Amino acid sequence: MSMSHWLEAYGNPAVLASGGAVIGGLFGFFAQRSRFCLRAAVIEFWHRRFGDKLSVWLLAFSTAVIAVQLMVLMGWLDTNNARQISATGSMSGALLGGLTFGIGMVMTRGCASRLLVLSANGNLRALLSGLIFAVTAQSALSGVLSPLRLAISSWWTIPGGASRDLLAITGLGHSAGLAMGGIWLVAALYFSLRSPNRNFWMWVGGVGTGLMVAAAWGFSQWVARESFDPVQIQGLTFSGPSAEWLMRVMQWPWPAIGFEFGLMPGVFLGSLIGALIGKDWKLEGFTDGYSMRRYIGGAILMGFGSMLAGGCAVGAGVTGGAIFALTAWVSLVGMWLGAGLTDRWLDESSNSASSTKTQAEGFKLP
């Protein structure tokens, strides 16, 4: 059956949700097997250890850019209709949201998508952090934190259209976007070949993760073209869907189902399958009260930052970055800076605490 037949038989919501479940399942599986994580990549970068974590992220990012730009050049995708480009954007929200998200990402030891993947692997720290992330994201979307988000977002706005498209602003075009994706892919392969921990899943999982980001764009565009009703094209993101699923638990009737309805359980199931195949499933909890406070604080910062930035590390960083949305790139830079500075601060605090403990032990009587 063609897409038009599926849409006629089952309707847009069911088809979009089914596509979200399949793409989400594959994303979760590839992300779990490759250990895809922006936080880990940022830490390797700032510590000048260009190893497997940075390689995996670059593989996923470059693959997403190449696949998306190829779809645009072949006429399969019109990025001008993407929300990250067509709608009014906030530069202040992108920068401050990215910084805030990056800080929280280091404190919780994972971004929004990584928390979902780790939750399916039995990590109770990630599960609690993910729930707090979802509550905060919903609060920033339409709750008590919404006025603060709107106020910050209003400081510096830009109109939708060419003003939010980096390729249009620079006049480079999508061929240049494809070439840049190729350069990042070469860098990813170079770092991966130098990594002593390289393995099959590092390459296949990294590339597969990036392809799923592109697949989300392509699938939603396919549905939009075949549907008689208007359909917003969209890519992978986890902040909005997390808040949406929270509302499904908290209220009735449910919000209308769509791509996000299938995405979240799909990622969870795909990651669970990956963990079982790799024998990675293991119950893990908190070791002390300090770490629990740090995770909770980080999850709150990530939830607010993601809504302020217009997406999470995947939604703004990879999905928006692949279509060269200006605000997405500003958010991504903010995430790298916020995470890098926070990691350095935590390292210095840890070293200072260790030094104080050593000095105190030196004064003890034998």
Three-state secondary structure of the chain: CCHHHHHHHHCHHHHHHHHHHHHHHHHHHHHHHHCCCHHHHHHHHHCCCCCHHHHHHHHHHHHHHHHHHHHHHCCCCCHHHCHHHHCCEEHHHHHHHHHHHHHHHHHCCCCHHHHHHHHHCCEHHHHHHHHHHHHHHHHHHHCCCHHHHHHHHCCCEECCCHHHEHHHHHCCCHHHHHHHHHHHHHHHHHHHHHCCCCCHHHHHHHHHHHHHHHHHHHHHHHHHHHCCCCCCCCCCCCHHHHHHHHHHHHCCCCCCCCHHHHHHHHHHHHHHHHHHHCCCCCCECCCCHHHHHHHHHHHHHHHHHHHHHCCCHHHHHHHHHHCCEHHHHHHHHHHHHHHHHHHHHHHHHHHHHHHHHHHHHHCCCC
For the chain, what is the mean pLDDT?
A: 87
Residue 359 lies in a domain: no
Evaluate whether residue 177 is within a structural domain: yes
Percentage of residues of the chain with pLDDT beyond 70: 93
**What is the tens place of the pLDDT at every residue in 137-186?**
999 988 999 999 999 999 999 998 888 999 999 999 999 999 999 999 99
In a domain, 360, yes or no: no
Using pLDDT thresholds of 50, 70 and 90, give the confidence band for residue 93. Answer: very high
pLDDT score recorded for residue 195: 77
User: How far, in Å, CA of 29 to CA of 36, rounded?
Assistant: 10
Q: How confident is the model over 115-121, as a mean pLDDT?
A: 91
- pTM comes to 0.90
Domain that holds residue 93: 3-351
Instruction: Write out pLDDT tens, residues 221-258.
Output: 999 898 888 888 888 998 888 888 888 887 777 777 88
Q: Is it the case that residue 26 has pLDDT exceeding 70?
A: yes
Distance separating alpha carbons of residues 244 and 340, to the nearest angstrom: 30
318, 70 contact by CB (below 8 A): no
Structural domain includes residue 366: no
Work out the average pLDDT over 75-93.
Answer: 91
- Give me the pLDDT at residue 348, please: 64
In a domain, 223, yes or no: yes
Domain-embedded: residue 20 = yes
For 142, half-sphere exposure in the C-beta direction (CA atoms, 13 angstrom radius) is 5
The more confident residue out of 348 and 147 is 147
CA dist., res. 126 & res. 132, Å (int):
10
pLDDT in tens, 304-346: 999 999 888 898 889 999 999 999 999 999 999 999 999 888 7
Task: Read off the pLDDT of each residue in 82-102 and give the average, rounded to a whole number.
Answer: 93
| Residue 284, beta-bridge partner list | 123
User: Is residue 37 predicted with pLDDT exceeding 60?
Assistant: yes
pLDDT at residue 288 in the model: 65
Residue 72 inside a domain? The answer is: yes
Flag whether 245 is in a domain: yes
What pLDDT is recorded for position 354?
Answer: 47
What per-residue confidence (pLDDT) applies to 170? 92
Residue 9 neighbours by CB distance under 10 Å? 10
Q: Report the percentage of the chain scoring pLDDT > 90.
A: 52
Number of domains into which the chain is organized? 1
Q: How far apart are CA 24 and CA 17, in angstroms?
A: 10
Half-sphere exposure of 346 (CA within 13 A, CB side): 18
